[in-house]
Amino acid sequence: MTSATDPNKKPVAASDDASGAGPMVAVRNLRKEFGSLVAVEDVSLDVNAGEVFAIIGASGSGKSTILKCINFLEPPTAGEIWVDGRRVGVVETGGRLRPARASELRRSRADIGMVFQSFNLFPHFTALQNVIEAPMAVRGLSRSDAIGLAKELLDRVGLGDKFDEHPRRLSGGQQQRVAIARALAMRPKVMLMDEVTSALDPELVEEVLGVMKNLARDGMTMLVVTHEMAFARDVADSVVFVDGGRVVEQGPPSEILRAPQEVRTKAFLQRILRTDG
């Protein structure tokens, strides 16, 4: 693979046409070990700008680890991560590669939004304070600019009347929408979403999925780990099924979800559909 030897060359997707624009996110031969456990093994993915990329798979199959490796919350054991044509976590200086400094990693992370299953809002901040904190601290926005941006984003996720509420006064679905607004406030190039509806009561799932659909429609590039097969079917451009830390099968949802080729994919989908009722 050329990208392994030439760190400055954008990784080029196999499906790319002559236009030359590389994928927004490229994962190359990613491997992650925790001690003796191999959580992710030889995973390569291409996510084009504006694409919604769904990652499905059983519990413990390595889905979250893949996302955390992309923004280096977990540094990969091996492999390459590219976002918008730039290596994440590795810097080239004077023809030599070295691990990124903490400040360089923070700059990369600022461009990569992440939303967690458990929301992880800052409980002592109001919704608005949650959203303005990072734009002010990391992007250097003035307080009034940050507030303007935060109000606009909270409006967009349907929380225009909740600016001054603390997280504990909000429902799970509302908290997760604040968390999405908080990530969007950094104007990220890609959003990583890790089972963002799994902790929600069933009646609250739709309002969050709705926000995600709007984001997709507005052209946000998203990597979404999800058990919501209907969302993957309707919204995703690509679906990848991972098992035991490896990519088993990948393709458009019409193929992966309707006509899986691999035995393990079929077994997983059957199990999911049965538990979903």
Partner 1 sequence: MNLDFGIIAVVWPALLKGSLVTVQLTLAVLICATPLAVLVALGRDSKIPALRLPLAVFSAVLRGIPPLLVLFIVFFGLPPAGITLDPFPSAVLAMTCYMAFYFGEVFRGGLQSVPPDQWRAAEALGLKPSRTVVRIILPQTLPAVLPPYISHATEVLKGTALATAVAVPELTSAARQVFVVTFRPFEVLIVAALIYAVLDGILLTLQYWGERWAARTGTSIRF
Per CB under 5 A, does 64 bind Mg ion?
A: yes
Min. distance of Cβ 245 from partner 1 in angstroms? 21
Binding partner of residue 39 among ligand ATP, Mg ion, partner 1, none, CB under 5 to 8 Å per kind? ligand ATP
Please state the φ and ψ torsions of residue 266, each to the nearest 5 degrees.
Answer: -60, -45
Shortest reach from residue 270's CB to ligand ATP, in Å: 17
**Of Mg ion, ligand ATP, partner 1, none, which one sits near residue 138, judging by CB under 5 to 8 A according to partner kind?**
partner 1
Beta strands (DSSP E) in the chain are 25-34, 37-47, 52-57, 78-83, 86-87, 90-93, 96-99, 112-115, 190-194, 221-225, 238-243, 246-251
Separation CA 45–CA 162 (nearest Å): 38
Site mask for partner 1 (CB under 8 A), range 152-191, x = bound = --------------xxxx------------xx--x-----
Region near Mg ion per CB under 5 A, out of 60-68, 95-103, 129-137, 254-262 = 60-68
Which pair of tokens denotes residue 34? 């925790």
CB closer to ligand ATP, 39 vs 128: 39
Q: Which of residues 18-77 bind partner 1 (CB under 8 A)?
A: 71, 73
Partners of 113 in the beta sheet? 191
Q: Pick what 62 binds: ligand ATP, Mg ion, partner 1, none; C-beta below 5 to 8 Å, kind-dependent.
A: ligand ATP
CA 127 from chain centre, in angstroms, equals: 22
Type of residue found at 256: I
Instruction: Kindly give, in sequence order, each residue whose CB lies less than 8 Å from that of residue 215, ignoring residues fewer than 6 positions away.
Output: 180, 184, 191, 222
Instruction: Write out the residues near partner 1 by the rule CB under 8 A.
Output: 71, 73, 102, 106-107, 109-110, 112-114, 116, 118-124, 133-134, 137-138, 166-169, 182-183, 186
